[in-house]
Structure 1
Amino acid sequence: MSAPRTRLHRCVAAVMLATLVTGCSLFGSDDEPVASGSRDRVTKLPVTDTDRTKLSSVRDGGTLRLAVRSLPQNFNPVQVDGLLGDAASVLEPTAGNAVRLEDDGSWSTDPDYARSVEVVDEDPLTVEVKLNPEAVWQGGSPITSADMEAYWKVMSGAESKAEVGTSEGWDDIEDVDKDGKLSYRVVFDEPRSDWPLYVYPRLASVVSEDPKIFNNYFKRRAVSSNGPFVVRSIVEKTGTITLVRNPRWWGAAPRLNRIVFRTAAPDVAAKAFVAGELDAVDLTEETARSVLKGAPDDTVVRRTSGTGTAQLTLNAGQGALRDDEVRRALRLALDRPALAKAQAARLGTLATTADSLLVAPGQPGYRARQVPSPDGSRAKAVLAKAGYSASKPLTLRLRIPADEPTVASRAAALAAQLKTVGVVVEVSTVPAERFYTDVLLPLDFDLTLLTWDGTPLGVRPAELRFRPKDSPLNFTGVADDHAKLWDAASEELDTAARSRAVQKLDDALLDDDVSIPLLAVPQVMALRPQVANLGAHALAPVDWTRVGLRTTKKD
């Protein structure tokens, strides 16, 4: 990658901290799962769970009240500090893109932003974008090819003073060839199946071209909107962020007048929802029970399969876990369905094991595999052959972030399962803010628990989790030897062929036993019955022009 390694470490530390602080570990009681949109038994988790209320039944006006964990450190979502907190979530109603993800993991052109997006050459990969001439930034300046050229340059790492969160993908662009103000061609130096993520600017050129503005100007103000809403105010004292309709928005008029975000920890947000102070809230393992018990009976619950998978990472670069047979023994001992059942109970979801290290259920390339039953006898035999016994047990350190009770529950469950085959697992905690720098980066652990998001348009970003050995995202202690498989899975442009390539790569990675997929992590949201066209989304984004409040209460 073109970004300096120190900057990449800072970026990854921010991402890891955000992931660990907000990560889900879903274990609980044996309550019956309930269905999406109700409190009936669930049979399957969709990739998107939202109502499809006609606009004639949605009020013109009103305020939607939501919660975020904290005020973002920076409201430039692609600056490294903007990766912490909820900048992307808060700014989502203010932003748009020429490419829109669909529920099935495919993509389409968003006509609000582009007349067309088309691959015009595959060698080299060249994408032509023709912009919608009506599209403008918040101040009224048109969105042009110059914005794309400047954005590519800053995101690629070419401007060393700009503190870019990550250059991944952008540094694979060879050129942005402008054809007038409203048309350009993006030329990649190698094929990338996830190219739709890298063909439209998030920032105006005036921001991209000035590192001081890029880094510092948006600490208490938002970047320019190009969506249906704009940020009207950020009040640090009260922890509120207010969005209102964008007066220069050229697309379909939004139904809501305002969206108000209130900063609150998950438990506080849950109490606020039960008290009627919020209209929707994301549920976690810790909050789901209190919300579902205390909220009104007509509360709507939306559930999707989510995009994340919880994985057990093994440090194969040192100690006993250098032996691939020992790692295989651990896999044989694990009872993943039992973990999934325990997970499902607290959130009222379908028990779903994860069968991929690269993509989540419902994403292209995901293949459900037959989950073998734990085989304690074989695990013990493999460990005995490696020299371990009751008198000489294998002892491993499982290190996790502190103050995360659900992560601790998952760790305890795994330790108990491995104890049945004679493996002693010593669980210890480290403050979350130091977990990346003190544990993950120096590989000071034998086992750890991480949750990773799948990448529906391509797996290239996931490669850093497995190779090279010194990648700041590779916590396995080794580098895999699957370079050709990574290239095939990352560069194939045909969706069906890419899915087959991803499955082949997945098989090879699973055989390495350096990371073991455990659980699919669902997304669960509770909403007041009057909220329309909002729910849980694993892939397709929310259409904020349609979200609103019903003219009459939902039956």
Structure 2
Amino acid sequence: MDASTTARGLGRAAVVAIALALTVTGCSSGSSGSGDVPKTVVPTQDADDNNPQPLDKVKDGGELRAPLQQWITQWNPYQVDGRYGDAVEIMTYIEAKIFRSDAKGVFHPVPEYLTSAEVTSQSPQVVTYKINPKAKWSDGKPISYLDFKAVWETSNGKNPAYNIADSSGYEQISGVEQGADAQEVKVTFSKPYADWQNLFNPLMPAAGLTAPDDFNKGWIEKTPITGGPFKIGNIDKSAQTITVVPDPAWWGPRPKLDKITYRVLAPAAITQAFLNNEIDYAGAGSATSYGQLKDAKGGVIRTGTPWDEVHISFGGNGALADQTVRQAIGKALDRSALIKIANQGVPVTFKPLDNHLFMTNQAGYQNNSGDWVKFDPATAKSMLDKAGWQETTAGQPRTKGGQPLELHFVLTDSSAQAQLDMTTAVQNMLQQVGIKVDIDKVPSKEYFTKYINVGKFDLASWRNTGSFPLSAGVTNFRAPEGDNVFGNYSKLSTPEIDSLLKQAAGTIDPVEAAKLYNQADAKIWELGHTIELYQRPAIVAVRKGLANFSAGSLADTEILKVGWEK
């Protein structure tokens, strides 16, 4: 688990981390730190710094105290408002997480739910799942093919009554039916889908999904039916705490922990809460937070390399509806300078990220940015001239039709210092080419719901985490359908990008799939959709003695094994 973010996405689906891009849990005051801290963290695909301990070395019982960066309202991870990372992570503890990824990104069926899962036919592609007969929901019903069918029917995009997060993968399925018995499921695909192990994960109960009102509203501030080793113990909105406790009806090995307590804390308060021994992990990925936490009493720094990227997104309205203007901004920004601001005082090299879909440590990664983000202010000015935005007097924004070229960079009012420094640098860089940038600070709790999710921004910076396997990142760039923008909050897309992404997701051969993904990525750079900055390794302060709990990698947290050393 990358404790400095809001955890994982839906079965590795892209999920927006509520904490802002550069300095997730750092304090917003104090020095930004010096730049001479040794860079000691090198991203590797199989990094998983989690203090591995055999179960006989882990205590039975104990509490894990965890920070939340916003209150959880929608718990259904298949619903468009249910994509907040911490909520999705908790749902994998209390619902049926049927596959688990290891530190190399290889998926394995979870035996408490599946005795087997394999492709049993190539043409058409058929996947057969055999469900553990002991697996059941909290309402007493056995987990069956009906639950797979319900997830498919509600998430395949065919019925607009379901306000879904993403139809990727499900829209390629032509049928879900019972096999030899209700605990055997046959899923047939109309088109090949490479990342089938990413689907139905977590599996949700049909009884809580089938009716549109249940799907959209039945999981708001409650979890009516569960099926995991844990269940919700208490939700206290006034105290902003959520407790998760072992479910006595669980048929698998008992969790080591007696309780996980989540507490909502403003980003700037998380560091101090760790120092006060009020929580057991805190992000240390900023200069300020690392400086405060690296020698914290009772703490230890752990590092990892999850799928975690930092970017600047463009809105798709006003002046930015013009692709040439977006491309000009890409050349007006000095990415290396922006990355250096983020990297100040942090013991990790923030590598420039030149791909929207692959991380630097993933097989298939290549630089597709071309000249689109090559720092070249002179060319940026020429492109703005071409777009009809004429220079005026020195220090004043360009104009077109009497209107000034003025953009709004939206960030939260709790942004850490490095985030503010980065935003100010963007403001200054764009001023040099005749673009005025207003910095709009908005309440943290409204940042996504009232601004990002509805496309009310010109420029904004956040992190996408856990977009693994590759098809999980498609949602961030696919074409919106009606009011559903999936994860593409700028609403910028082209039929060509859409087609390439769909082809890639349906290509079983990973080498051929990578070629298609990279072709799509090159077009995403050309579109001027998003300026990628860097891949963000996880740096987390963890309470000493916490076992089998990582800073974050491609591996899922095995929550049954998490606990305190004896």
Q: If the TM-score is normalised by the length of the shorter chain, which range does it land in?
A: 0.7 to 0.9
Structure 2: how far apart are the matches of 1:258 and 1:441?
33
Distance 1:496 1:168, change over 3 A: closer
Whether 2:411 is the aligned partner of 1:401: answer yes
For residue 353 of structure 1, what is the aligned residue in structure 2? 352
SS of the counterpart of 1:507? helix
Gaps in structure 1 of 5+ consecutive residues: 1-14, 36-40
SS in 2 for 1:227: coil
Shift of 1:457: 2.2
1:424 aligns with 2:435: yes
Unmatched tracts of structure 2, length 5 or more: 1-12, 27-31, 399-404
Structure 1 residues 252 and 31: CA distance shift in structure 2, 3 A: farther
What does residue 556 of structure 2 align with? 541
* Pairing of 1:213-228 with structure 2 (within 5 A): 213-228=214-229
CA distance in structure 2 between the partners assigned to 1:437 and 1:73 by the alignment: 11
* Aligned-pair CA distance for 1:292: 1.3
Q: Distance in 2 between matches of 1:124 and 1:465?
A: 27
Name the residue aligned to 1:10. Answer: none
2:524 counterpart residue number: 509
Q: Distance in 2 between matches of 1:80 and 1:314?
A: 21
The answer (yes or no) to whether the contact 1:113–1:131 under 8 Å persists in 2 is yes
The 1:360/1:223 distance shift into structure 2, 3 A limit, reads farther
How high is the TM-score relative to the length of structure 1?
0.81
Is contact 1:137–1:204 with CA below 8 Å preserved after alignment? yes
- The match for 1:189 is 190
Counterparts of 1:96-495 in structure 2 under 5 Å? 96-156=96-156, 164-179=164-179, 180-199=181-200, 202-283=203-284, 285=286, 288-289=289-290, 291-292=292-293, 295-296=296-297, 299-314=299-314, 319=319, 322=322, 324=324, 327-367=326-366, 374-376=375-377, 379=380, 391=393, 394=398, 395-406=405-416, 407-420=419-432, 422-429=433-440, 431=442, 447-453=459-465, 455-459=467-471, 462=474, 465=477, 467=479, 472=485, 473=488, 475=490, 479=494, 481-495=496-510
Q: Secondary structure at 2:429's aligned position in 1?
A: helix
User: Per-residue deviation at 1:169?
Assistant: 3.5
The structure 2 residue matched to 1:30, chosen from 25, 30, 34, is 34
Residue 73 (structure 1) shift: 1.9
- Point out which structure has higher relative CO (alpha carbons under 8 A, 6+ apart): 2
Whole-angstrom distance in 1 between the partners of 2:364 and 2:476: 19
The answer on whether the counterparts of 1:531 and 1:549 sit within 8 Å (CA) in structure 2 is yes
CA distance in 1, matches of 2:455, 2:206: 40
Name the CA shift for 1:155/1:48 in 2 (closer, same or farther; >3 Å).
Answer: same
- Matched position secondary structure for 1:534: coil
Distance, in Å, in 2 between the alignment partners of 1:238 and 1:314 is: 36
Instruction: Give a deviation string over 1:425-462, Cα, whole Å, max 9, x none.
Output: 32231635776787668867654435334632233753
Aligned residues: 528
2:177, 2:238 → 1: CA distance? 46
Do the aligned partners of 1:80 and 1:164 also contact (CA within 8 Å) in 2? yes
Letter in 2 for 1:99: F
Q: Does structure 1 retain, via aligned residues, the 8 Å contact 2:18–2:462?
A: no
- 2:3 alignment partner in structure 1: none
User: 1:51, 1:535 within 8 Å by CA — same for their partners in 2?
Assistant: yes
TM-score, normalising length: structure 2 = 0.80
Q: Distance in 2 between matches of 1:52 and 1:409?
A: 38
Q: Secondary structure at the match of 1:48?
A: coil
Is 1:66–1:262's contact at 8 Å kept on the other side of the alignment?
Answer: yes
The whole-number CA distance in structure 2 between the counterparts of 1:518 and 1:415 is: 16
The CA deviation string for residues 383-415 of structure 1, in whole angstroms up to 9 with x for no partner, is 677786675764451431341534443221122
Q: Cα offset for 1:203?
A: 2.2
Could you tell which deviates more after superposition, 526-535 or 339-348?
A: 339-348
Change (3 A) 1:224 1:361: farther
1:226 maps to amino acid: G
Which secondary structure state, in structure 2, belongs to the residue aligned with residue 53 of structure 1? coil
Match among 512, 517, 538 for residue 497 of structure 1: 512
Secondary structure at the residue paired with 1:313? strand
CA separation of 1:227 and 1:477: change in aligned 2, threshold 3 A: closer
CA distance 1:477–1:396, shift in 2 (3 Å): farther
Alpha-carbon distance in structure 2 between the residues aligned to 1:364 and 1:136: 38
Distance 1:349 1:223, change over 3 A: farther
**In structure 2, how many angstroms separate the alpha carbons of the residues matched to 1:229 and 1:454?**
22
Q: CA deviation at 1:259?
A: 1.9
Alignment-derived partner of residue 48 in structure 1? 48
Give me the whole-angstrom Cα distance separating, in 2, the residues matched to 1:95 and 1:32. 45
Deviates more, 1:60-69 or 1:194-203: 194-203
- CA shift in 2, pair 1:319/1:232, >3 Å: closer
CA pair 219-370 structure 1, distance change in 2 beyond 3 A: closer
